[in-house]
Structure formats: structure tokens, C-alpha cells
Amino acid sequence: MITKEILEREYLENRKSSNQIGKEYGFNGRTILDYLYKNNIKTRSRSESIKNAFFTKEFLEKEYLENEKSIYKIGKEYGVSHTCIIYNLKKNNISRRSKHRIPKGFIRGGYKYMTQKKAMHQIVWSQNNGFVQVPKGCLVHHRDGNKLNNDIDNLVLMPRDYHAYVHDLSRCWNKNGFLLDKDFLEEQHLDNKKSCIEIANKIGVNEKTIYTYLKYHDIPIMKHNLVFLDKETLKKEYIDDGLSSRELAKKYDTTKATIIKYLRKYGIQIKLSNRDKKEVI
């Protein structure tokens, strides 16, 4: 039970808020207000409470600027509203922090996180692209591989599946001892004039993987080993000898799509695959 004398001393003389009094005596602010009404003590209006709450400039600079507490957290700790904190910040000529300020974060999985869901590199990319969200199906990639280097020049947006290829270097190392770095690909593709298929067959990966890495390293994709098939040769091997488009592609070190392109060019009827034959039957 709080007596009238305590309420008059704390609320009227010491100018404490109902929340502050409640915190000291083990009650909530609403209960203190009820005691004030019962004892016929006139309560202060909201505007009066804001103006009467006094926080020194040194206190606000320490809590708000140095300790980087929010206006809501300061208000909750000292039993006042966030509006009261804003009033005192203006009164002491302390500038508010930007809503888009990057706060101090924590490290998780090698990345620096600002919140439980927002990583530093995502926020930096967003701030430098009109505060738009990272598109669905895309990721923000670190060019140099350093997850803590969140400079905007080191960040690039790329599709999720493309990003998976970029980070799949360990598989190439473990399989046949090859690393798909820029030097290796330039040597094979530009200097040795090898096609994507030849490089892929050499190190045991898919042709699309080589193509993806060439694009990532900004290596111009050369049209090496262009296949030229005349109509007579193609007709003999495809129709007479019964080779499939896949077998011809393997024989001439090209793709199945290239063989089909020549078949259509020469007006040679494309044979049905085994699956298509079953469907027709």
C-alpha cells in the first residue's frame, strides 16, 4: 500500500512519473495512477509529463549516441514514453539517427548480421540500390570471396542457381584436382582453343558448369571447333548408318542441338526417339 504522503512527495515534489514510482515500489504505472485518483491527487497531462521529464544532454549523448540505445528502449528503462525522449533530444539539439543507419551486428556463418534475418551485405546492397529488397530467387555475392568485405564495389546481385555454380569450386578440386579459376579457364579456352565441351570432359563436369564460370570470370566465350557437316555426310550417317543425333554429337565433339540444327537446315527428317515411338504406339 502506498500512502498519500509518498505519492505527494514522489509525484508532486520530485516530479517522478507514475512508471518511475511504480518501478521503485514494485507496482506498474497503471496501479500508481489508480492510487493518485483515490487520493484526489491531480495527475499531469501528457504534454506536462513530457516537458517535466528532464534528461541532461550528457545523459542523452551517452545513452542515445554512445550506447546506441533506441528512443523506445531509453523510455522503457526510465519509465517515460518515446515521445518524451524525442522532446528532450530536440530540446538539447541532439540529432536523431537515420532510420536507415547500419547498426552494429554479429557474426553468423561467416557473415555479419544486423538483425536475425538481415545480413550486412544485403543491407549495403539495398541502400545503394534505392532501398529495394533483394529480388526473389537472387542473392548478393561477394566478388573476392571475403564474407566480411561488404564494400558496395565487392557486392554483386546474381541468381541463386548461378551463385551455386560460383561457390561450387570445392567439387572441382576434389574430383580431378582442377580449380575453375580465371587463369585455368583462360589457358584452356583462349590459349589452347578448347571448347566448353572439351574442358568439361577433361575435368569431369557438365558443359553448363564451364559456360557459367566463363561468364562469371568475364572470359569471352569463343566459338572454337565450329562443326561443319555437309548434307551427304550427315544423311549417310544419320539415315543410312542409323546413328542418333546424340551419337553424332559425341563423334563430332558438339551438342545434340547443333546436329538437329543441321538436320533441319538440310531438310532431313528427324527420327523419333524411343520415348516418342512408345507414345505413338
Residue pointed to by grid coordinates 520415348: 275
Do residue 139 and residue 70 come from a single domain?
no
Do residue 150 and residue 205 come from a single domain?
no
Q: Are 34 and 9 in contact (CB under 8 A)?
A: no
Q: Report yes or no on 249 lying in a domain.
A: yes
Q: Report yes or no on 253 lying in a domain.
A: yes
CA 60 to chain CA centroid, Å, is 34
Do residue 133 and residue 204 come from a single domain?
no
Q: Report yes or no on 130 lying in a domain.
A: yes
Q: Which domain holds residue 269?
A: 231-280
Do residue 77 and residue 50 come from a single domain?
yes
Q: Look at the chain and report how many structural domains it folds into.
A: 4
Residues of the chain scoring pLDDT < 50: 100, 102, 169-175, 177, 224-225, 276-281
pLDDT of residue 52: 55
Do residue 27 and residue 55 come from a single domain?
yes
Do residue 134 and residue 208 come from a single domain?
no
pLDDT of residue 164: 66
Helix ranges (DSSP H) in the chain: 4-7, 18-25, 29-38, 46-52, 57-60, 71-77, 82-91, 120-127, 160-166, 169-176, 182-185, 196-203, 207-216, 231-235, 245-251, 256-265, 274-280
Q: What Å distances lie between residue 243 and 24, 232, 236, 268, CA to CA?
A: 91, 14, 9, 14
pLDDT of residue 21: 80
- What does the pLDDT look like over 180-239, one tens digit per residue? 677 778 888 788 878 777 777 777 777 777 777 777 677 887 754 455 677 888 888 888
Do residue 14 and residue 67 come from a single domain?
yes
Do residue 203 and residue 239 come from a single domain?
no
Q: Report yes or no on 108 lying in a domain.
A: no
Q: Report yes or no on 51 lying in a domain.
A: yes
Do residue 134 and residue 191 come from a single domain?
no
Q: Report yes or no on 269 lying in a domain.
A: yes
pLDDT of residue 23: 77
Q: Report yes or no on 190 lying in a domain.
A: yes
pLDDT of residue 53: 57
Q: Report yes or no on 139 lying in a domain.
A: yes
Closest-CA residue to 229 (of 248, 207, 257): 248
